[in-house]
Amino acid sequence: MEKRADNIKSRLIAWLGRVDGLLLNLLFPEGVTCLCCNRAPKENLEDGLCEACVQALDALAAQQEVRRMKHADLPENIAFVCAAFPYRDQARTLVRTLKFKRMKSAAVPLWRAMLLLPSGDEEVLVPVPTTKKRLKERGFNQAALLAHALGDALGMPVEEALERVGEQEAQASLPVDQRKENLRGCMRCTCSMEGKRVILVDDVYTTGATVGEAARALREAGAKRIGVFAAAQALEDGGRPEFMRIHAKTTRNDRG
């Protein structure tokens, strides 16, 4: 019955999509157009995505798998950094849709992909906090949104143990060498983390300056081991490394 209703709905949507995209949005404000490409596909959306974008995201996830961080590249106090996607194309669109269009549904494909990230014996998820100003503007902290969704799905507790101190300039507006300085002492831990193995959750991992500060605060609060789960990892050169495309196909098969 539900399937039949879905079928009728998707046909109606496809027909309406040809008539008028705007009318469609008025009639079905959510879950009609793909979160990434904004098309209204004939098929049903999967987590708000059309089939083509689901496949593109799978390919991006496979690319990211071969892009593991070497131990030497990790920020101080951080044992591992795992990201679900490289920060580009559809993955970048999803993060931007979540943050700047404030569409929480864009978090779903992100945290679903993060569920596949390898974790060990970690006990608690801690979201990277945002500034009070940003929280007020956006209405939510996207890192906390991801952490709670992951926590629910993995049956892991989430502790919003970190808070920002003061209002720093947006990291994205600063050159790499100034990012660390801008953030120094910007976070504190509001409770004891004594002996805990923690996964820090963030939306985008860029230079590691933000999670480095978060890890320092957690370490001061007694955390034993700290790793990072990010939805996406920015590319070092902002471009598209050749080796990823070469390896994408082979690793795709290993994902199971």
Interacting residue ranges for Zn ion, rule: CB under 5 A: 34, 36-37, 50, 53
At closest approach, how far in Å is the CB of 209 from Zn ion?
33
DSSP state of 76: T
Closer to Zn ion at the Cβ: 36 or 209?
A: 36
Closer to Zn ion at the Cβ: 36 or 143?
A: 36
At closest approach, how far in Å is the CB of 89 from Zn ion?
11
CA distance 123 to 137: 31
Residues pairing with 228 in the sheet: 81, 200
At closest approach, how far in Å is the CB of 54 from Zn ion?
8
CB 203 within 8 A of CB 142: yes
Give the helix/strand (H/E) hosting 6. Answer: helix 2-19
Check residue 166 and give left, alpha or beta (phi > 0: left; psi -120 to 50: alpha): left
Neighbouring C-beta atoms of residue 156, cutoff 10 Å: 15
Closer to Zn ion at the Cβ: 46 or 163?
A: 46
* Extended strands (E) in 87-151: 124-127
At closest approach, how far in Å is the CB of 53 from Zn ion?
3
Going by C-alpha positions, the residue among 232, 204, 230, 223 that lies closest to residue 124 is 223
At closest approach, how far in Å is the CB of 94 from Zn ion?
10
CB 226 within 8 A of CB 200: yes
Closer to Zn ion at the Cβ: 51 or 160?
A: 51
Pairing of strands 187-189, 162-164: antiparallel
Closer to Zn ion at the Cβ: 64 or 97?
A: 97
Radius of gyration of the chain (CA): 20
At closest approach, how far in Å is the CB of 33 from Zn ion?
8
3-class secondary structure, 147: helix
CB 50 within 8 A of CB 37: yes
At closest approach, how far in Å is the CB of 43 from Zn ion?
11
Looking up tokens 């998707």 gives 10
CB 168 within 8 A of CB 183: yes
Closer to Zn ion at the Cβ: 32 or 189?
A: 32
Closer to Zn ion at the Cβ: 45 or 244?
A: 45
